[in-house]
């Protein structure tokens, strides 16, 4: 087999050293001033039509800055175009 | 819960911190000491991403209260490199492509270090057994097992 300069050779990955030393920064490793923490509340139903979500009680809790539901977004759910039809 | 003074030895350095008694070792390492190399995975003791060593023994830092660590010497992935050079396990993982996204890698490395410290010439089966509590969701395990094997050979 022809001896290629690149094909068939092992090349170290550019991010490998950072990964094995714990220096790779993932989203969860970032802390910024004034950063808020968020949580997801998933549906209690596997398949259902959302008629209304009453988030008033959650919004009123001390320390809560925002409660965001599909009603606040231009596309209420899904990230794939097919789910937006 | 009340706050107290917490004394920990991490990677050979003494730390004194004010911390609430309910905080886990993982939270203290990542949020108070700033060592984010130890990863927050399932918080259920299933994935092994948070594995650190306490006196050389693998420990799930997400299930361990920092206050219970006591005098044990804690080692994290940040303490694995020897001086300026990578530990043979780190070098082997990097060279052999044993990390893809890298999220499970710190836990894998710490568990593997504990294995090689007690068993310098482990069989494939012993490596699999040792790493059974560390989940990887992207590379598959073959390259990881190969890397531990290669590192063991280099250390011997």
A42 touches chain B (CB under 8 A): no
Q: What's the gap in Å between the CA of A37 and the closest CA on chain B?
A: 14
Angle at B79 between CA B54 and CA A14, to 5 degrees: 130
Q: What's the gap in Å between the CA of A53 and the closest CA on chain B?
A: 29
Query: Using CB atoms within 10 A of its CB, is residue A57 exposed (0-12), middle (13-18) or buried (19+)?
Result: exposed
- Structure tokens, A50: 């959302």
Q: Give chain B positions within 8 Å (CB) of A35.
A: none
Distance from CA of residue B5 to its chain's centroid?
Answer: 24
Whole-model pTM?
0.86
What residues have CB less than 8 Å from A26, skipping those under 6 apart? B39, B103
| pLDDT value at residue A62 | 97
3-state SS class at B113: helix
Task: Show pLDDT as tens, one digit a residue, over chain A (85 residues).
Answer: 678 988 888 888 899 999 999 999 999 999 999 999 999 998 899 999 889 999 999 999 999 999 999 888 877 666 776 665 5
pLDDT < 70 stretches in chain B: 1
**Partner residue opposite A16 with nearest CB, options B35, B76, B94:** B94
The nearest alpha carbon in chain B to A14 belongs to B94
| pLDDT value at residue A12 | 80
A39 touches chain B (CB under 8 A): no
Q: Give chain B positions within 8 Å (CB) of A16.
A: 93-95, 97, 99
3-state SS class at B103: coil
| pLDDT value at residue A6 | 86
Nearest to B106 by CA among B125, B82, B81: B81
Q: What's the gap in Å between the CA of B107 and the closest CA on chain A?
A: 10
């Amino acid at each position: 087999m022809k001896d290629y300069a690149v094909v068939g050779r092992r090349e170290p990955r550019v991010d490998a050293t950072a990964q094995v030393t714990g220096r790779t920064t993932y989203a969860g490793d970032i802390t910024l001033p004034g950063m808020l923490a968020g949580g997801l509340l998933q549906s209690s139903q596997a398949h259902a039509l959302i008629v209304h979500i009453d988030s008033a009680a959650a919004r009123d809790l001390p320390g809560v800055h925002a409660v965001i539901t599909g009603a606040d977004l231009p596309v209420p759910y899904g990230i794939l175009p097919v789910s937006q039809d | 819960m009340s706050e107290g003074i917490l004394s920990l030895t991490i990677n050979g350095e003494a730390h004194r911190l004010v911390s609430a008694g309910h905080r886990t070792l993982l939270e203290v390492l990542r949020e108070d000491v700033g060592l984010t190399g130890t990863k927050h995975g399932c918080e259920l003791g299933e994935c092994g991403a948070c594995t650190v060593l306490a006196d050389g023994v693998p420990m799930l830092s997400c299930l361990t209260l920092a206050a219970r660590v006591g005098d044990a010497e804690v080692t994290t992935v940040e303490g694995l490199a020897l001086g300026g050079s990578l530990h043979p396990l780190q070098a082997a993982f990097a060279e052999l492509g044993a990390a893809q996204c890298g999220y499970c890698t710190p836990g894998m490395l710490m568990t593997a270090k504990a294995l090689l410290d007690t068993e310098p010439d482990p069989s494939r089966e012993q490596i699999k057994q040792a790493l059974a509590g560390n989940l990887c969701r992207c590379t598959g395990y073959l390259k990881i097992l190969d890397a531990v094997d290669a590192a063991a050979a280099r250390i011997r």
